[in-house]
Amino acid sequence: MVAADSPDSSGGALAPRRQLVTGPARSGKSRWAEHLARQHPGPVLYVATAGRHLEDPHWQARLEIHRQRRPPHWALAELQEGLADGLSHLQPTELALVDALGSWVAWGLEQPPLSWQASVEALASAVEACPGRLILVSEQTGWGVVPPTAIGGLFRDRLGALEQELARRCQRSWLVVAGRALDLQAISEPVPR
């Protein structure tokens, strides 16, 4: 059940409690999520789900771009295994921007199916019960070439299923393509389960 929007803490317009921002690589989804987070009148926690990968200079350059875009007063948490638990500690006045679910899925790729399903259920429950506001960023995969490896196919399948599970719990879902954000709730119908 998706909770109704509620007034933001400044008494202003209705703000969604949970939003999903998805799109392909380099589409602008992180920038859009950051734009949405900047509108929050209270504290913002940026939740990074990827490892640091200190040996990869290209990855470090991408992380630095994200760091430079974030306002200095936003807090930072690096969570993978503890993502669900971390969301439960959010304060009602806080907003967490989780960037991104693909890194969280990659962390769990070695989990067998039953363990993975338990992780997904824990995250979905944490999203639904989160006392603060959430913006979840997720990569879109599977729009083109079929992954040439079994692990690539597993990643695509798990991420797609996770996005559908979490989108049902969000008041707003955004699709960001070529630097344009589309409000999917406003222009779409849910696919029957």
- pLDDT tens string for the chain (193 positions)? 444 454 443 344 557 999 999 999 889 999 999 999 999 999 999 999 987 778 888 878 888 888 888 999 999 999 988 999 999 999 999 999 999 999 999 999 999 999 999 999 999 999 999 999 999 999 998 777 778 899 999 999 999 999 999 999 999 999 999 999 999 999 999 899 8
- Find all residues with CB under 8 Å of 87, minimum gap 6, and list them: 47, 96, 98, 123, 126, 127, 130, 134
The token pair that represents 132 in the structure block = 């603060």
Instruction: Tell me how many degrees the CA angle 65-70-76 measures, rounded to the nearest 5.
Output: 105
Give the 3-state secondary structure of residue 54.
coil
Catalytic residue (one of 53, 58, 66, 89)? 66
- 66 in catalytic set: yes
Rounded to two decimals, the pTM is: 0.89
